[in-house]
Amino acid sequence: MLILLLLIATMPKRLSAIEYYSTTLFAFFLNATCDYCLNLQFNLYGYFEQGIDIGGYIIVYIVGPCISMLFLNPEFRKPIKAVSL
């Protein structure tokens, strides 16, 4: 997780702050909705234990924004070269 945070801190950021905030908030709300439905209503899973799991939420709220920033950053997206057969 430290490598991921170091990578995020040193990468050049080409998008505006509102784009990063909007994707992070969308990921938070989607995660909260899925966790509520699958874990608390149907008891299908838990990250570390059944019920509300604070340790799991700490991991999700740190890793989620980092992955979305890496995914949205145009520096890390290179076009795929077409292969002719």
Q: What is the pLDDT of residue 58?
A: 72
Which of residues 22 and 12 earns the better pLDDT score?
Answer: 22
Instruction: Give, rounded to a whole angstrom, the gap between the first and last alpha carbons of the chain.
Output: 41
Indicate yes or no: pTM above 0.85.
no
pLDDT in tens, 27-53: 888 878 887 787 777 777 666 666 666
Whole-number pLDDT of residue 85 = 65
pLDDT, tens digit, for every residue of 61-80? 788 778 888 888 876 666 66
